[in-house]
């Protein structure tokens, strides 16, 4: 299971106010877009889920 907060790192940098929040909302979708096109890659595996018999 990957750590899904990583592509949203800009939200950690944001200051109080509407404009800073909009700025973070501009950065994060770009990260998601780059991830969708294979330019960005979230390799941050948080947990391994396993089922065994």
Interacting residue ranges for another protein, rule: CB under 8 A: 3, 5-15, 17, 19-20, 23-24, 26-27, 30-31, 34-35, 38-42, 46
Residue 41 or 53 having the CB closest to another protein: 41
> Which one, of 25, 31, 37, 38, lies nearest residue 4 by Cα?
31
Q: Which is nearer to another protein, 16 or 53 (CB)?
A: 16
State in angstroms the smallest separation of the CB of 48 from another protein: 16
Alpha-carbon separation of residue 23 from 1, 47, 52 (angstroms):
28, 31, 45
């Amino acid at each position: 299971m990957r750590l899904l907060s990583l592509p949203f790192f800009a939200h950690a940098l944001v200051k109080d106010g509407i404009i800073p929040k909009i700025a973070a909302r501009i950065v994060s979708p770009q990260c998601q877009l780059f991830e969708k096109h294979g330019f960005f890659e979230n390799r941050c595996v948080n947990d391994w889920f396993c089922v065994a018999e």
